[in-house]
Structure formats: structure tokens, C-alpha cells
Amino acid sequence: MIVGVPTEVKDSELRVGMTPVGVRELRDRGHTVLVQAGAGVGSGFPDDDYRAAGARIAPSAETTWGEADLVVKVKEPVASEFPHLRGDLTLFAYLHLAAVPRLTRALLDAGTTAIAYETVQLPDRSLPLLAPMSEIAGRLSVQAGAHHLMAPSGGRGILPGGVPGTPRASVVVIGGGVAGTNAAEMAVGLGAHVTVIDTSLPRLRQLDERFAGRVDTRVSTRTAIAEAVAGADLVIGSVLIPGAAAPKLVTLDMVEGMRPGSVLVDIAVDQGGCFEGTRPTTYSDPTYRVHGSVYYAVANMPGAVPLTSTLALTNATLPFTLALAEGADAALDRDAALRAGLSTANGEVVDPRITP
């Protein structure tokens, strides 16, 4: 099979869909790998590294997409990439179709077989291809939040851990999954006062044990969220419903009651966001104000650390990519986890959570 790895084109997206190690694994199994010229440079992988691993360097996106049977990338195709979609192509990437109906329509019109990283699901309900980026996004969310809490960045000028004789920042994490847990770890490490809110009491028990009482835990209700947000300096939204749009848990009324200069970081922006008023931003213009607060809603947060992100992503995706390269239909038939990621095929929506 011919596997294509195009250059990512979203704003400030420096990740690449495969490392040279991944290329070598595919080549060792007899597959051809096309890597678009310069695709890995932002992640620290020059073209020569891919050549040494056995890849053919393609001069353009048109060649990479056009010759490939299977395209492996990071982010969902944007409008400029829609013309590359076609009926005999399998696409393996983050798609987040619930939040991007225009892309859903493009995939259906082209008849592309599209498999979403974020909905590949193991029998224990874990999401192995979303987890590494959730870990990174969770950690970055607190770094970004701390930066934007500084007065020159528009925040209220509070240090997360304070110093003796001053208050610590109050950090509220909504959602105690992979991203939320990593956000809590970073916030605790900075010395902040941390509250985690989740719908699952068993999960809250796990977090209480994990953090040995260093975080407060609350069951998610509208009242609990409103009370916690009202006193927060930094709110991290890390709510996930696999394959579906995120619920709006923080309302504009809640935001209006927050302290001026407080910061809200919406990790769930790829799925539409869990704060009312969220709209996707980019690293070139990451924030905007809602009432007196700062919203940070960069839709490709892990793209800021492309070396770490690309290595972590390929570690997770490579076994599935190797299976797909042997034949997508057979791989989907054999592997229920991979089949759970199937979003569109033959001009039809396969995942019932997606609205055409």
C-alpha cells in the first residue's frame, strides 16, 4: 500500500503524522511511504531523516494525497485540502466531525473512508489515540493559563502558587479524565489551590487517592460549577463526550460573575467547547475577552510542542496504521477498537453521533 504523510496546514500546526521510525516500520513490511517535502521539519525531522528511513519525498500536497491509498495526518483537513479527498482514499487523523459539519459533508461528497483517532476505543472504553494528546493539552492548559494570568497578558496578575503571606491562585478543572488529571497535576505542582469537578463519584475517589487530598473534588452539578467558577482565577474545561459535541457547562452568566482578569482555557474546543462563548483561536491570536475574563481556546494546543507531540502520537497510532496498511477493510473487520473510529465510508455517516 502507498501511505501518504502530508504537511499540516492549520495555523501554527508543526506536528507531522508520522516519525521516521514509523516510516521504517512500514517500509520493512513492504509498503511505500510518501512524505511531503518539509512535513517533519517543524517537529525536528528533516527530509533526510525520512529518506534514510526509506520514504520517498513528495514535492507537493497534490502528489502526496493523490498517490496515497492511506493518508495519515494529525489534524482534520481544512477547506484547502477538501479537493484532495476521494472515494478510494482512507484518511486516518483527528477529525472532530461533531464540531465541523462542513468537513463531514466534504467527506460524504467524496466518499472517503475516514477513521477518527479520537473515537478509536478499546474494550475498557479508553481512547488510546486521544490519550497522548489529552495528556499534553492538559499540561499545556495550565502553562497557558498561568501565562495569561500575568498582568501584561491581560490577566489579574496572580502567581499560581503565590509566596508566603499571599494567596494562591484558585484553579478549577472541569472534567477529571486524562486531560483534566494532567491539568490538575500541573496546577498542584505550581502550588495552586485546585478543585476538580466530575460527574463520576468513583473517578473523584480515584483522584482523591491519587492526589492524597491535595485537590478538592466536587460532583458536577450546575450549582457546584457556578460556585467554583465564581471564586476561580483559572478555569480549565476538559469535558469529553467521545465523538459528540461538548456540553456548555460554564454559562455566560457564570463568566460575568468571575473576577476581572480571570482566565478560562477550553481544552474541549475541538468538540465545540464546554464554555458558552467559546470560539476556536490560534497560536497567532490565542485569546479574546468575554465580559472581564480572558478566553483561551487554541484548537491545536499540542501543536506548540511538536517534537513531544509527534513522538507521542506515532507511539500510539503506529500499530493501527500498520494494520490499515495491510488493507483497511480487513483491519476494520478484525479490530473492534479501530472500527469504533470509523466515521464515514462510501458516502455515508457510520458513527451515529455525527450529524451529516
DSSP 267: G
pTM of the model: 0.91
How far apart are the C-alpha atoms of 262 and 149, rounded to whole Å? Answer: 7
Minimum mean pLDDT range among 32-36, 72-76, 269-273, 307-311: 269-273
- The three three-digit cell numbers of residue 275, written as one number: 464554555
Helices within 177-221 (DSSP H only): 178-189, 201-210
Please state the rounded mean pLDDT for residues 32-45.
98
* Residue 318 in this model has a pLDDT that exceeds 80: yes
Average pLDDT, the chain: 96
Please state the rounded mean pLDDT for residues 38-60.
98
- The pLDDT tens digits of the residues spanning 109-139 come to 999 999 999 999 999 999 999 999 999 999 9
- The pLDDT tens digits of the residues spanning 53-81 come to 999 999 999 999 999 999 999 999 999 99
pLDDT at 242: 79
How far apart are the C-alpha atoms of 337 and 323, rounded to whole Å? Answer: 12
Catalytic residues: 96, 270
Q: Which residues of 292-302 are buried (b: 16+ CB within 10 A; e: fewer)?
A: ebbbbbbbbbb
